[in-house]
Chains A and B, each alone.
Chain A
Amino acid sequence: MRKGLLLVVLILVVGLALSPCAWAKAKTIKVGINAPITGDIPKVGEGSKYAAEMWLEDIKAAGGLEVGGEKYMVEVIVEDNESKPESAAKAATKLITEDEVLAIVGPQASSQAIPAGEMANNYGTPMISPWSTNPDTTKDRPFVFRGCFLDPFQGPVVANFIKDEFGFQKAAVLYDIASDYPKGLAEVFKEAWEKLNGAGSVVAFESFTTKDADFSSQLTNIINSGAQFLFTPQYYNEVALIVQQAQELGFKGPIVGSDSWGSAETVKLCGEACYGLFFSTHYAAAGATGATKEFIERYEKKYGYTPDDVGALTWDALRIVQTAIESTGKLTGDLEKDRMAVKDALANIKEFDGITGKMTFTPDGDPIKCAVIVRISEKGEFEFYKSACP
C-alpha cells in the first residue's frame, strides 16, 4: 500500500518536472486576456476580444513572434471575468497558474483591474490594463502597467474644459459609490473643480449604488442645488438612465462624462437624449488619421461597427506587450525568468507610438499621453471636439 502511494507520488513529481520542458518545446508564447465577456459591460469584453483576434491575425501573418532570432507561435487565451471584482482575480489566477501565460492584457474596468492586478503582482506576472484609469491599479505594483491616462488626470481635464467652454461656477456630481472607477474620478473632479472655483463650488455631490435604476431623489436634489452642469463618470447603461431622468425632471444644463461613456452602446441605449453632450476620452473615431484610421477601417470591415476606445486601447496594449517581448532579446523557457524579463522590458519602453497617441511610461507603470474631449453629434457619432494634454 505504502509502496503504491510512493509510486504515485514519484510519477506525479516526474510529470511535474517534465511539464515545463514540454512547454518549451512547443515554442508557444501564451498571452492571457482577462475581459468582461458577460456581466455588466459585455460590449467592453467584446471589444477586447475582437482587438485581440485582429492582433493574433497580424502575428500569424508574420509567421509568429520573433524573439532573439527565433520564431514563436502565439496563443491568446480569453478568460471571462463576468465584470465582477472577485471573478477578475480568479480569472487572473487561472491564467497565471493553470494556463501559464507570459503576460496578461486586461481587465478593463478599474473595479476588476485593481484586484486582478494584485494577483498578477503577487505571482510576478506582467499585466497591462488597457482601460483602467484608477491610480490604485498600478500603484506599488512593479508588474502592473496600463495603457491609458489616470483618473487624477481626467478630473482636471474635464474641470478645465467646462470652465473654458461655459464659464460655469456651480457643479453637481452623481456617481456610483460602490464602484472604484466612478468613485475615484468623482473625488478627483471635485478637488479639481474646487481648486478652480473655490471651496463649496461643487454644490451637490450625490451617490447611488450599482444596479440602481431610479435616481430621482438624487437628481431632484441636484436640480434644487442650482448646479449649472452635472458631471457623471458612469458606465453606459447608467448614463442612459441618468440623462433621461435628469431631463424628465427638468434639468437644463449640460451633462458631462468621462471615458467610460466612450462605448458604442452609450448612444444605442441613450438615444437622442445624449446628443450634444461632452465627455473626455482616449481617442475619437471620427477624424482619425494614419495608423489609427487604418485600425478603425479594418475593425469596421471585420466586425461591422466602429471600434470604441476599449478596442483601440486593447490593440495598443497588445502591441506594447509585443514590443516588450521582442525587446527581451531571448526567452529562456523558464516562465518565471521570462515574466521578469518582460516586466523589465515593459518598464524600459522609451516611447511607444500607439493608435491612441504617443506615450512614455512613468516608473509607476503609467503612460503620459493626451486626452480628447468628444462631443456626441446630432447623428449620434462621437466627434473630436478638443485635445487636452497635460
Chain B
Amino acid sequence: MQLFFQHLINALQWGSFYALIALGYSMVYGILMLFNFAHGDIFMVGAYIGFGVATALAALAAMSALALPNWLILVLTILIAMYLTSFVGMLVERIGYRPLREAPRASAAITGLMIGIILETGNLAILGAQRIRFPSLIKTSVYDIGGVVVTNKKIMIVVVSLVLMLALNEFIRRTRWGMAMRAMAFDYVVIPLMGVPLNTIASLTFALGSALAAAAGILFAVAYPVLDPYIGITYGWKAFVAAILGGRGSVKGACLAGFLLGFIEIFVGAYLSSSLRDLIAYSIILLILVFRPHGFFGEPHSAKLRL
C-alpha cells in the first residue's frame, strides 16, 4: 500500500508538468483554433531563461551585502522568468501566427514546427551543445512519512503548480479579460465585431500560456536539473496529447488530463513494464479518445463556422 502511495506522489509531480504545459496548448487551441507546436520549445526557453535569471540573482546575492535567501531567489526566478517568457510567447504570436491568421490551419501548424526548430537550434548556436546544470537553489530535505518518501521539492512543485492553475482559472472566470477570452473561444469571427480586439486577446493568450510554460520549465529544472535544448520536444508532444484529451479550450480538462497522463505513465512504468511504458500509456489514451473524441470537457464545435 505504501508502495502505491509512493507511486502516487511520484505521479503527482510528473503530472504537474504536463498539466502546466497542456494549459498553454489548450488556451491557444480554444481561442484561435490553432495548434501552437512551438509551445514545447517555449517550455524549454522558459527553463533556460530561468537558468539565466537564477544564475544572475545568485551572483548578485553573492557579490553584494544584500543577502537574498535561496528560496527568495527561486521565487523571484519563477516570477521574472514567467514575465520574460510571456514576451517570447507574444513575439512568436506576432511574427509566426498573426500574418497567417487567414491562411489555412495547416500552414500555421507548420509555422509552429518551424519556430520550434528555430528556438532549439538558436539555443544550440548561442549556448552550445553542452548540457547545463540548473543551480540547486533549495537544499533537498527528504521526509519519510510511514514508508512514503517525499522531498520539499516535490511538495513545492505540486503546490506551486496547483496555485498557478487555480489562479488561471480565476482569471478566466472572474475578470473582464478572461471573459473576453472565453467569448473569443466561442467564436473568433463574430466577437471582434462587437469590439473585443482579437489581436490583444491573442497576445494575452500566448503570454499567459508561455508564462505557465516558463513556470513548468523552472519547476522541471528544479526536479531534473540537467537542461538541454531539446527537452521541450517530448514533453511538448505529450502535453499536447493532454490538451486534446482534456477538451478544446478547457482549463479544467487540460489540468485533469495532464495529471492523468502523469498517472498513467508512472503506473504503467511501475506495475506493467518500464520499457513498454509509452507504448502502453499512449495506447490507453488513444482508446479513451476513441470513446470521447472531444476529450473530457470539449464540446463538438460547429464545422460550418470554421471552414
Contacts and interface: CB of A to CB of B under 8 A. Distances in A.
B10 A216 contact: yes
Interface size class of A (residues with CB under 8 A): 20 to 34
B274 A43 contact: no
Contacts of B52: none
B270 A220 contact: yes
Interface string A246-262: 01111000000000000
B114 interface: no
A207 B129 contact: no
Contacts of B122: none
A208 interface: yes
A141 to B, nearest CB: 28
A76 interface: no
B234 interface: yes
A206 interface: yes
Contacts of B3: 220, 224
A17 B171 CA distance: 75
B14 to A, nearest CB: 5
Nearest to B262: A214
Interface residues of B, number: 38
Interface string B142-172: 1010000101011000000000000000000
Contacts, number: 89
A205 to B, nearest CB: 10
Given A221-B270, A241-B224, A209 B14 contact: no
Interface in B220-259: 220, 223-226, 228, 230-231, 234
Contacts of B292: none
B98 interface: no
Contacts of B224: 213-214, 241
Given A241-B224, A269-B133, A218 B6 contact: no
Contacts of B13: 216
Interface of B: 3, 6-7, 10, 13-14, 124, 128-131, 133, 136, 140, 142, 144, 149, 151, 153-154, 220, 223-226, 228, 230-231, 234, 265-267, 269-270, 274-275, 277-278
**6 shortest interchain CB distances as A-B pairs:** A216-B10, A42-B129, A217-B269, A217-B270, A250-B149, A213-B224
Interface of A: 37-40, 42-43, 177, 206-209, 211, 213-214, 216-218, 220-221, 224, 237, 240-241, 244, 247-250, 265, 268-269, 271
